[in-house]
Structure 1
Amino acid sequence: MLGTAIGFVMVLVFTGAIAALVLSLALPNKAILRDAIGELRCLSGYPLTGSTCAQDQIRQADAATAAANRQRAAAEAARQAAEDALVSGDLEFAQGPELKYGVSLVVGTIYQDAVTQSGLVRSFCWAIVDSGGLDPRVGVATRDATGAITVLDLSDTDLALLELDAGEVSAALASCPWPGGTT
């Protein structure tokens, strides 16, 4: 069986080499053959160095990396802002509904003037697990001053801590007690 497979591959390579030789002799313009080989290499994922195909692949990879880095930086900035607000005690909290026994929603809001609760800066919606004084929080979403809500990605560990599935958490987002209601 292995011998048959090797023989088949050898026949294919030999046939391809003969076809390439015949084409190179039959075509007076070798650029057509060179372009065809370049396109075949591009389609197979092994572009020629310096070809436009290779440059396009590099540009696409760079764009995807840049987009992922921007998204990661935005998520990190939102997480850091929430941590900073928690540490400084500048959050005004609103208790939301209980999702299930021992898990409820809470929104913490940062205002420019905390006394009059004016000039909303950002709000954070957390699912809080009541576990006898520890009360771990899982960030669910953030809302900026314009009312735009950003849903945060939850890890499998977060979902296990809440003992909820992703669908239940998504449905719970409508219950976050945002200041002034949802937009």
Structure 2
Amino acid sequence: MTAIKRILGTAIGFVMVLAFTGTITAIVFSLAVPDKTALREFWEEVRCIAGYPVAGSQCAQDTIRRADDAVAAANQRRAEAEEAQRAAEDALARGDLEFAQGPALKDGVSLVVGTIYLDATNRTGLVRSFCWAIIDEGGLDPRVGLAIRDASGRVRVLPLSDDDIALMELQPVEAAAAHASCPWPGGII
């Protein structure tokens, strides 16, 4: 017990000496520096690095700008997703969404791709394709979105939540690789 007290006392004493020495050094340095703006700028930089920028400083403005940029990017992605959803709903209402059945991932879970065409009759003018895993539950068949392919052929894999993976009753590795088997128009990419 005395050893613990001795170690604790030594540690507290060391911290006190360090704090005292740092305080005296800071006071002497602030008195010795003729230009206080350099000291003020140094302190602002330290606060910026620590994540507590001085109000109105360039660091605070940069932090606000980065946050605004992140919000704008998120809003842009949300607007694109809403537009894609509206396009899919409109195409489905017009009968312009063509479906292609894909392979079964397991018993009761299969892949389906719905493709929006400008001309669904001739299957020309591909706008966008959506790949889903369909869970056959005899009536209401839930869908889990796996990927979206745009007209240029670029595929964007959708993130799967733990609930999506549980709904498909697949292992996480199997669920993550399922998008590679989507029956895209023109073949699997």
TM-score range, shorter chain: 0.7 to 0.9
Residue 36 of structure 1, aligned match among 39, 42, 48: 42
> How many angstroms apart in 1 are the aligned matches of 2:123 and 2:70?
40
In structure 2, runs of 5+ residues without a counterpart are none
Residue 144 of structure 1, aligned match among 147, 150, 154: 150
Matched, 1:18 2:18: no
Q: What does residue 78 of structure 2 align with?
A: 72
User: Aligned AA for 2:98?
Assistant: E
Q: What does residue 169 of structure 1 align with?
A: 175
> How many angstroms apart in 2 are the aligned matches of 1:73 and 1:12?
55
Q: What is the root-mean-square deviation in Å for CA atoms of aligned residues?
A: 2.5
Residue 52 of structure 1, aligned match among 39, 58, 61: 58
Give the match's secondary structure for 2:137.
coil
Q: What does residue 159 of structure 2 align with?
A: 153
> How many angstroms apart in 2 are the aligned matches of 1:23 and 1:9?
21
> How many angstroms apart in 2 are the aligned matches of 1:130 and 1:87?
23
User: Aligned AA for 2:169?
Assistant: E
**Shift in Å, 1:86:** 3.6
Query: TM-score, normalising length from structure 1?
Result: 0.85
In structure 1, runs of 5+ residues without a counterpart are none
Query: TM-score, normalising length from structure 2?
Result: 0.82
Figure out how many residues of one structure are paired with residues of the other and give that number. Answer: 182
**Shift in Å, 1:113:** 1.4
1:98-153 Cα distance to aligned partner (Å, 9 max, x none): 00010000111111111111111211111000111221111111111111111112
8 Å contact kept, 2:96–2:118: no
**Shift in Å, 1:65:** 2.0
